[in-house]
């Protein structure tokens, strides 16, 4: 069995981010066929096409290479104003450029949104999916993962507190493993 490397993009920079906690929890629940690795996005300069010539910023180059070297993508993000946070949109733009050389292209992906609100980041989840369609990221449709009530999801050690949420998260990451195996480039 080969191990698939998954670039995990967390759309929150907050130190005690619920989404980072969820990303780490999913990594702990993942089957042995997946290795989930968070790829940091907080230090990426804002995308500016004028800088994307022969010597783009080193942070962009390193980020693009980390994404390109992965087999799959997992986005774990909050919702800001019914969409994705600006830092995540910037990472998507950086990874998609220069035109025709997208680091995202063809990699199977999935989206998890975690929010304090009852809707669980539904708007961000679907807005992100719109971008992933354009970027040619075959995105897992089911099970969908919108997790609300973020303030009560984790225990003091950052683990998923409720059995039902942990079981759902395990089901999600197992389905994602099957999705990756089916859709990852050979």
Alpha-carbon distance values, 98 to 10, 52, 103 (Å):
22, 7, 9
* Distance from C-alpha of 26 to C-alpha of 166, rounded to nearest angstrom: 9
Per-residue model confidence (pLDDT) at position 120: 86
Per-residue model confidence (pLDDT) at position 117: 87
* Distance from C-alpha of 61 to C-alpha of 44, rounded to nearest angstrom: 10
Per-residue model confidence (pLDDT) at position 163: 94
pLDDT along the chain (186 residues), means of 10: 93 95 97 98 97 95 98 97 96 96 97 91 95 97 95 93 95 98 88
Per-residue model confidence (pLDDT) at position 118: 85
Per-residue model confidence (pLDDT) at position 1: 63
User: Total structural domains in the chain?
Assistant: 1
Per-residue model confidence (pLDDT) at position 25: 97
Cβ-based burial of 15 (10 A; exposed 0-12, middle 13-18, buried ≥19): exposed
pTM of the model: 0.97
CATH number of the domain to which 111 belongs: 3.40.50.360
Q: How many CA atoms lie within 13 A of 185 on its CB side?
A: 14
Beta pairing, strands 109-114 & 145-147: parallel
Q: Which domain holds residue 142?
A: 4-183
Per-residue model confidence (pLDDT) at position 185: 81
């Amino acid at each position: 069995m080969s191990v698939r490397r998954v670039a995990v993009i967390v759309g929150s920079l907050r130190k005690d981010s619920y989404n980072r906690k969820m990303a780490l929890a999913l990594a702990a629940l993942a089957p042995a066929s997946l290795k989930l690795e968070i790829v940091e996005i907080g230090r990426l300069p804002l995308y500016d096409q004028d800088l994307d010539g022969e010597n783009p910023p080193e942070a962009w180059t390193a980020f693009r290479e980390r994404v390109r070297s992965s087999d799959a993508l997992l986005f774990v993000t909050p919702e800001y104003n019914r969409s994705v946070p600006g830092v995540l949109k910037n990472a998507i733009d950086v990874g998609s450029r220069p035109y025709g050389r997208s680091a995202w292209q063809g990699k199977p992906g999935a989206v998890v949104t975690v929010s304090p609100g009852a809707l669980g980041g539904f708007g961000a989840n679907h807005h992100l999916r719109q971008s992933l369609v354009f970027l040619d990221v075959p995105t897992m449709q089911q099970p969908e993962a919108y997790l609300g009530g973020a303030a009560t999801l984790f225990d003091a050690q950052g683990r998923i507190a409720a059995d039902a949420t942990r079981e759902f998260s395990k089901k999600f990451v197992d389905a994602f493993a099957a999705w990756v195996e089916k859709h990852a480039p050979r």
